[in-house]
Each structure stands twice: as C-alpha cells, then as structure tokens.
Amino acid sequence: MCCNIPGGRSWIIPVTIDPSDLEYTPDQMESFAERRNQVLSRLEEGIVVLRSDDRESYNRNEFRVNSYFFYLTGYDGPQTFAVICKNENAPFILATPPRSIRSMIYGGEPQKDEEVIALYGPDRLLGYREFRSFIDSILGSGLPVYMDLSDRDLLQQLKDIKGEKGGSEFRNVSELVDELRVIKEPLEVERLQKACDITARAIAKVMKECEPGRYEFEMESLLEGTFREYGAAMPGFPSIMGSGPNSTILHYEPNMRLMEDGDLLLMDVGAEYGYYTADITRTIPVNGKFSEEQRTIYQLVLNAQLAAIDSMKPGNLIGDAHRVATRIIIQGLFELGLMTDSSSAWQASFYVLYPSSHYLGLDVHDVGAYGGFFAGFGHDSPGGGPESRVLEPGMVLTIEPGLYFRENGLQQLHEIFGNDADSTEIEAFIEQVAPVYEKYVHIGVRIEDDILITKEGRINLSRYAPKEVLDIEQIMR
Ligand SMILES: [Mn+2]
C-alpha cells in the first residue's frame, strides 16, 4: 500500500501497516547467534550478564527492551536475564521470571518455555532461583562480569550479591559489543528503513495540517499518532516541535506554544520501529510559504546538507560531511554579511554549534567509536578536525547541519568569546552584523537525514521526507 499526500504534488511514501515484519524468521535469528559468537570470540575471560528491562537507563514510560540485551538475544520479554559465557555446554542462558497466577491475570500467558527455546535458542532456560545460584557462583569465582554499566539497578543488585566476597569486577559490555553495533546488518537496515518511512509519512501529514492558530502539541499528537498508526511502539526520543523563537532552541521539548503566521516550525523527530529509531529533522513555514529571509537561511542550510550527504561514502571520514557543510555555511554567512571574516574561528563557531553527525540504530545516539570527530569541537572552533574515523559500508549516520538566530545571540558574544577575541573586535563585529542579524531573529533551521553507507556510496534512508522548498510549499498549499 502506498500513500499519496492528498493535494499538492503527490509524494509517494512506501510504507505499509503490516507489523508481520516485526517477526524474525529462523534465518534471521541466526544473526543473533552469530553476534553472540562474535562476543564470545572477544571475551577472554568472564561472562556477560544483561537484563531486558531498561526503564532506569532510558527513562521511558513503558517497557522497552535494553538495546544490548535485544542486540544479542532478539528477545524482548520483560524481567529476563541473559548470560553469555565460555561454557561449552551452555554458552547462552536465559532466565525468565516466575509464572504466577497473579502475573498471568495482569499480563496474560507468557510464552511457553518450549517456544522460547525453539525461537531464541538458549542452551539453558533457567528460573530465577537457579539463576540466582548461578550468579552467586560466578561472583564468588572472581571472574569479571561484563554488563551494561548504565543499568545502575542491576549493577547495585550484583554488588549487593557480591557483598564482601570480593573478586569479580564489573566491566562495560560496550567493550565487547559496540564495534559490532556500528556496522548494521541487512535485517537492521530493514527496520531502520521502515522507521524512517513511518517518520517521513508522519512529517508529511504535519506539513498538510500545519497552519497558524494551532498549537505545537497538536502537531506532535498528529505526528506521534501516525507513528502508532503504522505500528511504531513509541518515538525513539522526545519529539521536538519548536515554532517561532522555539525553533532556535536546539532541544526544545515542551511543545506548548500557539503557532503564529510567519513562524517556522522545526521538528526533530523519529519513530522507533522494532527497537530501531529514525532521527529526522524538517523545518517548515507554519503558513505554508517561506518568507524571503526564511528561504535564504533554509536554502543555505539545505545546500550545505546536500553537499555534505554527497561526501558520505566509504573511505571518506565521518568529519568530512561536517567540514563540507561548515564550509558552505560559513561562505553563505559571509556573503549575507553575517560574518565579517570568513576565516575567523570564533565567528564560525558562533553559528556552527555542534558536530553534524552521530550514529543511529537501536539508540538515537547509537554506540560506537568516532575517532577524533568530537575532539576538534569547542566554543572557539567549529570543529571537523581531520582525525575522525573512516566511513565503512554498513554504518548509519545522521547529517544535520543547522543555523539558529536566537534573539539575544549577539549580546552573548562577549560572554562566549571574551577569551578568544578582544572586546573591540567583538564590538566591531556586533556593530557591523547587527542590522543583518536582526532580519533573521527567531529563524532556526535544521535539516537532518539518516544515511546508510554502502559499498557504492550511500542510501538516504529518510529520502521520503520532503525537504526541497518547492516540495514543502506545494504539499502545504
Ligand atoms: Mn540527530
């Protein structure tokens, strides 16, 4: 089923309401076994202990499986523990919660043990009591225990069990798993693609409905309702719906403002589908037509983003896209009279506020090493040092340049850059730039896509979310 956006140009967003694609085939389950084998080959001594619940570390309102747990098991039942160890007879153990009449009254019948074993392939399926004595013996043996150290609850429980016995130290499972998670397998890409398609569909719906006199939260509701309509469990992170002055706040979240004629609306949003999340940003004119000033800034950011995407291919660096985008943005700002010196690092970093890429996957800021990508950033440098990591096929990264003209931006210059430039230099800059800057106040533009690196170059997973000026204006008409 394809979905045209009624009216305007027809945007075909190929997304189906069909959650059957959330079930893994036996073939796909092999991938999880292969991941565990990879972990075992990296595990010199000790064991991996993970638990499925993740409320503490991710601050979610409903059950959402821990990303490491899911990545290594494919299982997403609550209150379950997984162990991976070098035991030849049972390298993979699951421990599920006790069944009680009460838990079934509240939660329904859990999956039968035989089904769990058949589908997820644990070598042993334990009850809590057996699991507890197993953990006791491990902690007593002094072998290192690898776990998700951000799971403070589990860490505390294990420490309590360990008590004064001494011995086992707790290490971060990220050492064993993160590099695997950086390179996405086809079954992961499929889910990311659907998450992006659902998000694109929802963004297009907001474009159709958006108009002055409506609230940001109405757009949020429409967006997230559409996520749910297509089977996404929840957003992968809190939806940002910032209009007018709020478009200049990078992580605005209240979404309570009444949108006015002449505002921009910046939405940084992502559906989570099968635990993989999209992360797409689009910026649109609330009344359906960009003002001249809005279009100028929008087109500059878009040109920068498009050139940055073109640079994303194997062999190039993660930082190259940021550098390409930054170069175009600085040139554009200089031509507009918003910079007085296109080679000034402090002037550039007044506008370029953050590194333009991050990994995407089970988590919105997904795990993995970046090389020196973040090292070059500072309040006195727009970043993009040449020492970041080389792009490889299978990586998924966002690219999200932006420009934000906050009301008191120029007044903050002395405080931000007082150590990097002398105050007469800053004064001269303010005097020259202020009349131009004024025209763009309350304009915040960010454009973000999700890019899969392939052998041939790249695939833009979020390509169905409209972003050309003409497309947006036609859809909103
Ligand atoms: Mn992002």
**Is the same domain home to 235 and 310?**
yes
181, 214, 230 - which closes a domain: 181
> Are 264 and 243 in contact, with CB atoms under 8 Å apart?
yes
181, 209, 225 - which closes a domain: 181
Closest CA to 305 of 396, 401, 405, 398: 401
What total number of domains does the chain contain?
Answer: 2
* 9 within some domain: no
Q: What is the pLDDT of residue 10?
A: 59
31 contacts: CB under 8 Å, gap ≥ 6:
185, 187
**Taking the model in full, what pTM does it have?**
0.94
- Ligand 1 center from residue 90 Cα (angstroms): 40
> Are 283 and 298 in contact, with CB atoms under 8 Å apart?
yes
> Are 450 and 360 in contact, with CB atoms under 8 Å apart?
yes
Q: What is the pLDDT of residue 386?
A: 67
**Is the same domain home to 209 and 296?**
yes
> Are 297 and 440 in contact, with CB atoms under 8 Å apart?
yes
Segment (H or E) for 300: helix 292-310
Interstrand relation of 170-172 and 145-147 (parallel, antiparallel or unpaired):
parallel
- Ligand 1 center from residue 422 Cα (angstroms): 34
Locate 357 and state its tokens. Answer: 């890429």
- Ligand 1 center from residue 53 Cα (angstroms): 25
**Is the same domain home to 171 and 204?**
no
Q: What is the pLDDT of residue 162?
A: 81
**Is the same domain home to 298 and 366?**
yes
124, 149, 181 - which closes a domain: 181
Beta bridge partners of 284: 265
Locate 374 and state its tokens. Answer: 């973040």
Closest CA to 33 of 131, 129, 135, 119: 119
Count other Cβ atoms within 10 Å, centred on residue 142.
15
- Ligand 1 center from residue 465 Cα (angstroms): 15
* 454 within some domain: yes
- Ligand 1 center from residue 143 Cα (angstroms): 38
Phi first, then psi: what are they for 381, rounded to 5°?
Answer: -150, 130
Query: The domain containing residue 428 runs over which residues?
Result: 183-476
* 419 within some domain: yes
Q: Could you give the residue ranges of the DSSP H alpha helices within 163-291?
A: 174-182, 186-209, 216-229
- Ligand 1 center from residue 358 Cα (angstroms): 7
**What CATH number is associated with residue 214?**
3.90.230.10
**Is the same domain home to 145 and 208?**
no
Cα-to-chain-centroid distance, residue 421: 35
* 448 within some domain: yes
- Ligand 1 center from residue 419 Cα (angstroms): 30
Mean pLDDT for each 10-residue chunk of the chain (477 residues)? 47 88 92 96 94 65 87 94 92 93 88 94 96 90 92 88 79 97 97 98 97 98 98 95 97 96 98 97 98 98 98 96 96 98 94 96 96 77 78 98 97 90 94 98 98 98 97 95
Number of H helices, E strands in the chain: 16, 19
* 12 within some domain: no
**Is the same domain home to 154 and 211?**
no
Beta bridge partners of 242: 266
Q: What is the pLDDT of residue 350?
A: 95
**Is the same domain home to 116 and 259?**
no
- Ligand 1 center from residue 41 Cα (angstroms): 33
**Is the same domain home to 410 and 366?**
yes
- Ligand 1 center from residue 366 Cα (angstroms): 10
41 contacts: CB under 8 Å, gap ≥ 6:
none
- Ligand 1 center from residue 220 Cα (angstroms): 17
